[in-house]
Amino acid sequence: MKKTADTSGRVGLIGPLLPYRGGIAQHTTMLRRTLSQKSDLLTISFKRLYPKWLYPGKNDIDEKLKGYQEPGVSYMLDSLNPLTWIQTCGSLTDHSARAVIIPWWTVFLAPCFGFIAHRLRRKGVQVIFLCHNVKEHEPSLWKEIVTRWVLSGNQLFLVHTKSDADILAAMVPNSRIGIHPHPVYSQFPKAEKAPIRRARLELLFYGFVRPYKGLDILIKAMQLLKHEDIFLTIAGELWDHDESLLNSLTDKNLLGKIEVVDHYIGEEETARYFSRADVVVLPYRSSSGTGVIPLAYHYGKPVIATSVGGLSEVVVDGVSGRLVKPEDPSALAEVIQEFLYNPPSLMLKGVERIARDMTWEGFVQYILDFIRS
């Protein structure tokens, strides 16, 4: 009798990987590298993700990695071409994938991912939406309607925070939701040589500058601390071109206290900025979660974050960092000043302890157990 192939360990993964820029691409790349070691994995990425007219940054491809493709990944999906959506579904069903993992972070991909998820479910494939943020960072009614339309057709979800799990449970009742913390970005290199320090306390604001991240609140806190020996590095492409924010970055009272690095920060440059920083600051107005905190933990740095969304689930106040009220420059300035007179290195053991539970191996094992249960 002919023996049938065992397809129980076959999994599919869809999403942007390197050379695409940003946290979602980094996350999907690391997930793919780890998941491929523990399952028969087929990974499909994009040959075109965002059209140029839509992407708010300078380019959605890391120029230093232009032409690079992650080994073993099929770059066949075009977010605007339905024919490639059909081809993607065909490749995954030919692979006999038991489950397919699809990241969710933007309503722009709702037609593409909604079509693929519906078609795969009709063929009996488990579809798991891995929600980096259930709702858009800059929300609106129409975005919420589109999100509900896509996600309400599904029953299996993975999130990194209880905050997002609660939102999903209200949006998609009776769904099954797995929660596992965002793993530490261990693939980032150590700095060969840290840049020269400029002050007793070095602060770092890292990542694309968008309105919800509250950089303007941090600048106001810096203005309150203008006489203190503190320096702030803003490392990331400016997507927020609010005039008042731009003017505050050149405030004469902060001359020599702020550095703005207005471009995409690659891995080697990331290592230099994090190695120099004493504390990483996230003055966010809203957030479900973020990859900046796991990156800070990778470099052994404590975090000052606002107590919004899922941030308070990964920053243990007084252990791996400090939590402050959102939209409160005075409270933020007070906590920054605490770090000025209490060495941030005292929190190193706390950071290391929290980070031990945030591994890619643990996350992948959790996913595989979730699929099998």
Structure tokens at 280: 């990483």
Predicted confidence at residue 70, as pLDDT, reads 96
- Residue carrying the six token digits 């979800």: 157
- Edge-to-edge strand ranges of the sheet holding 279-282: 258-261, 230-235, 201-206, 279-282, 303-306, 321-324
CB hemisphere CA count around 191 (13 angstroms): 16
Predicted confidence at residue 2, as pLDDT, reads 37
207: Cα separation from own chain's centroid: 10
b (16+ CB within 10 A) / e for 330-350:
ebbbebbbebbeeebeebeee
Structure tokens at 1: 């009798």
Predicted confidence at residue 52, as pLDDT, reads 82
Q: Which CATH superfamily is domain 10-183+358-372 in?
A: Glycogen Phosphorylase B; (3.40.50.2000)
Predicted confidence at residue 253, as pLDDT, reads 85
CA distances from 169 to 177, 309, 343 (A): 8, 15, 41
Predicted confidence at residue 172, as pLDDT, reads 95
Q: What does the pLDDT profile of the chain (373 residues) look like in tens digits? A: 333 444 558 999 999 999 999 999 999 999 999 999 999 999 999 999 998 877 777 788 998 898 999 999 999 999 999 999 999 999 999 999 999 999 999 999 999 999 999 999 999 999 999 999 998 888 889 999 999 999 999 999 999 999 999 999 999 999 999 999 999 998 899 888 778 899 999 999 999 999 999 999 999 999 999 999 999 999 999 987 778 888 888 888 898 999 999 999 999 999 999 999 999 999 999 887 899 999 999 999 999 999 998 999 999 999 999 999 999 999 999 999 999 998 888 899 999 999 998 999 999 999 999 999 8
Q: Are 165 and 177 in contact (CB under 8 A)?
A: yes
- Edge-to-edge strand ranges of the sheet holding 176-179: 73-78, 40-48, 10-14, 99-104, 126-131, 156-159, 176-179
Same fold, 10-183+358-372 and 201-355: yes
Q: How far apart are CA 61 and CA 64, in angstroms?
A: 9
Please name the residues in contact with 232: beta carbons below 8 A apart, sequence gap of 6 or more. 203, 204, 205, 218, 222, 257, 258, 259, 281
- Please choose, from the candidates 314, 309, 347, the residue with its C-alpha nearest in 3D space to the C-alpha of residue 326: 309
Which helix (H) or strand (E) segment holds residue 85: the answer is helix 82-94
Q: What 3-state class would DSSP assign to 363?
A: helix
Q: What 3-state class would DSSP assign to 122?
A: helix
Global pTM reads 0.91
Structure tokens at 26: 């980094």
Predicted confidence at residue 6, as pLDDT, reads 47
Phi then psi dihedrals of residue 64, to 5 deg: -75, -15
Model confidence pLDDT, tens digit, residues 131-160: 999 988 888 899 999 999 999 999 999 999
How, if at all, do strands 10-14 and 99-104 pair?
Answer: parallel
Listed by start position, the domains of the chain span 10-183+358-372, 201-355
Predicted confidence at residue 19, as pLDDT, reads 96
- Please choose, from the candidates 165, 170, 156, the residue with its C-alpha nearest in 3D space to the C-alpha of residue 373: 156
Q: Which CATH superfamily is domain 201-355 in?
A: Glycogen Phosphorylase B; (3.40.50.2000)
Amino acid making up residue 1? M
Structure tokens at 27: 């996350």
Torsion of Cα atoms, 61 then 65 then 67 then 71, to 10°: -110
